[in-house]
Amino acid sequence: MSLLPSTGDVTGEQEGEIQVLGVDEDGSADVFEALSSDTARRILTAIYDEPAPPSELADRLDMSLQNVSYHLDTLEDVGVIQVADTRYSEKGKEMNVYAPADDPVVMFVGTEERKTGFRDLLKRLVGATGLLFVISTLLFAFQAFGQPGGASDDLTPLELLTFPGLEFLLGGLFVLGLVVLLWVWNK
């Protein structure tokens, strides 16, 4: 059972989209409770670093398998992690591999109107940032390799900083930062 909206939910959210959960909504207390433990947060961080089955997480974090399993169940119940794959142990036993949930979770304090505006802003920022990275990568690749006299293997890091792709990316991120500040100021 996931407390967060998923595909087909009446909220209209699609899988893989940012989920904004208000602190006063049903289920937010369960998410806070699941994340209130230092152990649960360490396990969640380890899963974000590298998805793994419970036994591997227990070894990496120097914890008991029972403790890790308990927190994995709790984190999965509130929708912060999910079973992403299955592996087989050396003895042939099937093991679930836990990974971060497909739907990123953002906890939000504020009115429903501000929450909706915040969700829309996050979606736009994620899309705009992705577009900036794609365009800057294309600019860099064209400048470095797509024309005569382009970059060679002997470029210094300082010379890489003068490429238009990086300048475009940094300028775009600066503008996005200004947009966020303007949004916050006007709310």
**Domain co-membership, 83 together with 29:** yes
**Domain co-membership, 124 together with 155:** yes
Kindly provide the residue ranges of all beta strands, DSSP E only, lying in 28-168, ordered along the sequence. Answer: 81-88, 94-100, 105-108
**Domain co-membership, 121 together with 67:** no
CB 35 within 8 A of CB 140: no
- Only one residue has tokens 């899309």, namely 127
Helices 38-49 and 65-77, axial angle in degrees (round to 10): 80
**Domain co-membership, 99 together with 116:** no
State the pTM of this model.
0.54
Strands 19-22 and 105-108 come out as parallel
DSSP 8-state code for residue 2 = -
DSSP 8-state code for residue 36 = S
Domain coverage including residue 85: 19-106
pLDDT in tens, the chain (187 residues): 334 333 333 333 445 566 666 667 777 788 888 888 999 999 999 999 999 999 999 999 999 999 999 999 999 998 889 999 998 888 888 999 999 987 766 766 666 676 677 767 777 777 787 778 887 777 777 766 655 555 555 666 666 666 677 777 778 888 888 877 777 677 6
